[in-house]
């Protein structure tokens, strides 16, 4: 791909190829290779940090609640907008604090009015929380069982001042490793999502890929379908910086520097949330205009993620089902 040319004119017209006539990728998509990438990813430290939600999902007037790794969590913001989190049950008689209210930065229990300001109270101990501006994280040491880290492992992101963000959340009947395994199989892209991708080639780790995870990434050349025969070719690198995250970084073509972060958060056994953050950037004139339209574009970006994830969750759920019943071929 010629980056200079594509910077001026990103669209290409592609000779139509019937779905069944594209090159099969199954020989390259070695189960052992995917399993090895998954093993490397899950061996990395997370410091017990879990993605809880999109930052914007946690407002100032209502608490946010979600069960993460079997732990009921409530999160809210103090008067200064700082993220606070802790156990989701009221220390008095166990009311679900997610249904309570926030007043002046404190959660006021809706059963008998007990107020929590985020500090320890009557046996209620806060969880460390971190807001990276796009995502809200919570540290659950008892659930994670790793050496705690002071901050989550956050992938490098484009400068937010010049970026457009959208976060999509979905839930599947699977475990985080099934979500990661789906992401670490980029070969399925043009076959399984023919409405979105075409002409996909993969260089696996150790295959000359220019991964940004110490040569550990999958490098993918792919064309995003726009409409009809029109496509936008890009190069992307997939890496797993921690055991529940896979990032896709655009390293060539349109949207250079953009990042898609897929985070898999275990909820309860056999249920996993996928929280996907798109942080899009572009040197293209007019992108500033697109940023101005962010509230309009966000649902569009989310809709694209939702369509892909409807299929990808089916993949992850299928993998989980086969693993559970001892029939997974990998």
Q: Which stretch binds ligand FES (CB under 6 A): 33-41, 88-96, 149-157, 178-186?
A: 88-96
Q: Which stretch binds Fe ion (CB under 5 A): 13-21, 169-177, 232-240, 312-320?
A: 312-320
Q: Which stretch binds ligand FES (CB under 6 A): 6-14, 92-100, 255-263, 288-296?
A: 92-100
Determine, following the binding rule CB under 6 A, whether residue 115 of this chain makes contact with ligand FES: no
Binding-site size for Fe ion (CB under 5 A) equals 1
DSSP string, 194-239: TTTEEEEEEE-TTTT---TTTS-PEEEEEEEEEETTEEEEEEEEEE
| Residue closest to 107 by CA, chosen among 66, 149, 62, 161 | 62
As beta bridge partners, residue 304 has none
| CB-based contact 211:218 (threshold 8 Å) | yes
**By three-state DSSP, how is residue 186 classified?**
helix
As beta bridge partners, residue 49 has 139
Per the listing, tokens 């909820």 go with: 267
Which does residue 329 bind out of Fe ion, ligand FES, none, counting CB within 5 to 8 angstroms by kind? none
Identify which of residues 63 and 172 has a Cβ nearer to Fe ion in the complex.
172
Token pair of 237, please?
Answer: 């690198």
Determine, following the binding rule CB under 5 A, whether residue 276 of this chain makes contact with Fe ion: no
**By three-state DSSP, how is residue 27 classified?**
coil
Binder among 93, 142, 171, 226 for ligand FES (CB under 6 A): 93
Which does residue 92 bind out of ligand FES, Fe ion, none, counting CB within 5 to 8 angstroms by kind? ligand FES
Which does residue 303 bind out of Fe ion, ligand FES, none, counting CB within 5 to 8 angstroms by kind? none
Instruction: Go through the chain and tell me how many residues it has.
Output: 330
Determine, following the binding rule CB under 5 A, whether residue 312 of this chain makes contact with Fe ion: yes
Identify which of residues 76 and 197 has a Cβ nearer to Fe ion in the complex.
197
Q: For the window 32-71, what string marks contact with ligand FES as x by the rule CB under 6 A?
A: ----------------------------------------
The C-alpha atoms of residue 169 and residue 273 are separated, in whole angstroms, by: 7
Please report, to the nearest 10 degrees, the dihedral formed by the alpha carbons of residues 78, 80, 81, 82 taken in order: -70
Interface positions with ligand FES (CB under 6 A): 90, 92-93, 95, 109, 111-114
Which residues make up the interface to Fe ion (CB under 5 A)?
A: 312
């Amino acid at each position: 791909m010629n980056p200079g040319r594509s910077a001026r004119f990103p669209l290409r017209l592609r000779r139509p190829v019937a779905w069944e006539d594209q090159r099969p990728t199954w020989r390259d998509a070695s189960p052992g290779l995917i399993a090895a990438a998954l093993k490397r990813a899950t061996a990395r430290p997370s410091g017990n940090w879990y993605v809880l939600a999109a930052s914007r999902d946690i407002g100032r007037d209502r608490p946010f609640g979600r069960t993460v790794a079997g732990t009921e969590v409530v999160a809210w913001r103090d008067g200064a907008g700082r993220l606070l989190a802790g156990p989701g049950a009221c220390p008095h008689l166990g009311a679900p604090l997610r249904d309570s209210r926030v007043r002046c930065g404190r959660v006021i229990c809706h059963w008998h009015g007990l107020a929590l300001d985020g500090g320890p109270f009557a046996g209620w101990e806060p969880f460390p929380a971190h807001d990276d501006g796009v995502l809200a994280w919570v540290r659950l040491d008892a659930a994670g069982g790793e050496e705690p880290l002071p901050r989550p492992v956050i992938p490098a992101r484009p400068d937010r001042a010049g970026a457009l963000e959208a976060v999509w959340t979905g839930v599947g009947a699977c475990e985080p490793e099934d979500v990661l395994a789906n992401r670490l199989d980029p070969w399925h892209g043009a076959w399984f999502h023919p409405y979105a991708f075409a002409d996909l080639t993969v260089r696996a780790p150790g295959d000359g890929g220019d991964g940004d995870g110490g040569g550990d990434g999958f490098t993918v050349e792919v064309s995003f379908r726009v409409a009809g025969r029109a496509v936008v070719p890009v190069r992307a690198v997939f890496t797993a910086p921690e055991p529940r995250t896979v990032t896709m970084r655009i390293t060539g073509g349109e949207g250079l520097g953009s990042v898609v972060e897929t985070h898999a958060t275990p909820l309860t056994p056999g249920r996993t949330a996928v929280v996907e953050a798109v942080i899009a950037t572009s040197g293209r004139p007019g992108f500033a205009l697109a940023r101005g339209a962010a509230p309009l574009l966000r649902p569009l970006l989310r809709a694209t993620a939702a369509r892909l994830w409807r299929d990808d969750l089916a993949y992850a759920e299928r993998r989980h089902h086969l693993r559970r019943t001892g029939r997974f071929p990998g």
